[in-house]
Structure 1
Amino acid sequence: MVTIKDVGKHAGVSVATVSRYLNGKGYISDEAKKVIEKAIKELDYKPNQLARSLSTKKTNIIGLLVPDITNPFFPELARAVEDTAYTNGYTVVLCNSGEQKDREIHYIESLQQKYAAGFIVTTNQLEADYYRKISLPIVALDRRLDPAIPTVTTNNIDGATIATEYLIARGCKHILCVRGPVGLDVAEDRFTGFMETMKNYPNISSDIITSQFDFDEAEKKVFDYLKTHEFVDGIFASSDVLAIGAMKAAHSLDVQIPGELQLVGFDGISMGKLLTPELTTVAQDIYKLGTAATELLIQKIEGHEIENNLTELPATLVIRSSTK
């Protein structure tokens, strides 16, 4: 195995000079940089990341915290984060908190002890104070943790407005909103968009049920609701997972989509195209969200100044066959 000593000998410089070059600390002449780079290439030297992390107290590891890996939205998001990190020389460690505070704290503390370079957080189980005290760079993705923490998200209020307006434009008179968890900013924004839109249509009736972002819970709650509210002709679900649960409930009750009941989801996960009927949805640019958050985190890790702490991407209505 080629060592740092071998590189120094091949380049004709001291081990200390090679170390300064590898760690990016201290002065190195342009000539020394050239001979070290040449020696590294010719010897095919690979730095010992463990030894380097012990020296610099830093690795190229990025922690990605997600609340529920079974929700199809998060694997798609993770793919974008991993692709972007890899391109920039970083490695992603995926941590599934299961929406449990203790697990989230465990992962954060463990990665800090292993000298992670930074975190991308898509959970919000902990108080903002906890995140503010973390000394490593953090970016919030699809969640707002604190105004001081850079955030990448979609304009969820506008997205919900688009979905609600579309259901009304397609003739729906009695709309059910299947909203997400109370207190979760993403769910709250989508609920706000729906409610603000409904104020403009006093002749359209609406009702609300609340569910975790979970297939089974959404299916059960929508099934129970539709059994006693047969007049409902439109559903806005504040995630595609909720929409899929609602679709399954309607199917169990032999309610025809879109003939008797039109349905719009939110997120734009790939699974929506595999359903019958295919799901009309307010699509987030999931890949772009993951890419933007990772690039922002790398900027912070590498010491660049962040000019804008909020990156908000637009949502787009994707019309498929769950609406008329």
Structure 2
Amino acid sequence: MITLFFGILTAAIEEACYKSGYKLFFCTSGGNPNRERELFKMLCANNVAGVLVCSRITDESLYMQTDVPIVTIERMIEDVPSVSCDNYKGGVLAAQELLLASGCKSPLLFGNRIISNQLPASLRYKGFQDACARNGSPCSEYYIDAEDLFGKNLGEDVYKALKQFPETDGIFATSDVLAARIMNTLNDADEADTFGRIPVIGFDGVDISAYCEISTIAQPIRQMGALAVQILIQRINGQIVPERSILPVSLIRRKTSGPNFVKA
């Protein structure tokens, strides 16, 4: 399933490719390792100039056995240049927004299950955990599987998490889509009486956070896509490129956090 993040990212990549005189072949594996291998081999067989990889699949051996120039986005592969946002700083900013600006004492980290440290997104979890620990407010944690992000059981997971950690007084959702689903659950009339209103902050900075007026840690998604294309073209041309390119994130405060947030 293509998320809002990847929709913005691929649009930025296509635009950057077009401006540089390249055509973009877009392939999606749906998280299927066998399909990803088939697609990559197909691209190589068709003599593509280079490949941008944005994958959650843990087996990286496929990409280490080719001469085709590769650049990864939000993914780490040994000896392959990567582009990502400052996930760790984003986690720290989220913790500071809940603990310092919103007055939370018992925050909850609510996220997708991270299956590999090769995914830089794991650093947003660590940044949040570390900042909470430094503040003397260790966070509780609740994880769902990635495929449950849009699932009908997500609301039940929110109830389960809050019943498991009844002291929760603030939530860091590790994507804006998760944050929107959580807010929808918390705003339900019956559950609002049960759980009250608590601060929520998301991550990504995609449009749904603005529509729902949710505070978020914004990634420079378009810039990440454009930079990845730039670096890949430099690799195609035999130029030396940085091993890691990490772009800054920023806090966007809206109605769901901050000093003016009114708790129940």
Matches within 5 A, 1:57-96: 68-69=1-2, 71-96=3-28
| Residue 74 of structure 2 corresponds to residue 138 of structure 1 | no
Contact between 2:88 and 2:124, CA under 8 Å: does it hold in 1?
yes
- Paired position in structure 2 for 1:269: 206
Matches within 5 A, 1:1-324: 68-69=1-2, 71-146=3-78, 148-169=79-100, 170-184=102-116, 185-202=119-136, 204=137, 206-213=139-146, 214-216=149-151, 218-227=154-163, 229-252=165-188, 253-255=190-192, 260-275=197-212, 278-306=213-241, 308-323=242-257, 324=261
How high is the TM-score relative to the length of structure 2? 0.88
Whichever of the two has the greater Rg, that structure is 1
Counterparts of 1:144 and 1:133, CA distance in 2 = 16
Contact between 1:124 and 1:145, CA under 8 Å: does it hold in 2?
no
Counterparts of 1:301 and 1:92, CA distance in 2 = 15
Distance 1:251 1:149, change over 3 A: same
Q: Which residue identity lines up with residue 284 of structure 1 in the other structure?
A: Q
Counterparts of 2:58 and 2:108, CA distance in 1 = 31
The alpha-carbon deviation at position 295 of structure 1 amounts to: 0.7
Counterparts of 2:129 and 2:23, CA distance in 1 = 42
Identity of aligned residues (%): 29
Q: Which residue identity lines up with residue 268 of structure 1 in the other structure?
A: G
Q: Which residue identity lines up with residue 167 of structure 1 in the other structure?
A: L
Report the secondary structure of 1:311's partner residue: strand
Report the secondary structure of 2:121's partner residue: helix
Q: Which residue identity lines up with residue 253 of structure 2 in the other structure?
A: I
The alpha-carbon deviation at position 302 of structure 1 amounts to: 2.1
Contact between 1:180 and 1:187, CA under 8 Å: does it hold in 2?
no
The alpha-carbon deviation at position 225 of structure 1 amounts to: 1.8
Tell me the C-alpha RMSD between the 2 structures.
1.8
The alpha-carbon deviation at position 230 of structure 1 amounts to: 4.3
Larger relative contact order, structure 1 or 2 (CA cutoff 8 Å, min sep 6): 2
The alpha-carbon deviation at position 215 of structure 1 amounts to: 3.1
Contact between 1:215 and 1:244, CA under 8 Å: does it hold in 2?
no
Report the secondary structure of 2:55's partner residue: coil
How high is the TM-score relative to the length of structure 1? 0.72
Contact between 2:12 and 2:222, CA under 8 Å: does it hold in 1?
yes
CA deviation string 1:84-133 (max 9, x = no partner): 00001111111111111011111111111111111111103142222111
Contact between 1:255 and 1:261, CA under 8 Å: does it hold in 2?
no
Contact between 1:159 and 1:193, CA under 8 Å: does it hold in 2?
yes
> Which 5+ residue runs of structure 1 have no aligned equivalent?
1-67
- Paired position in structure 2 for 1:55: none
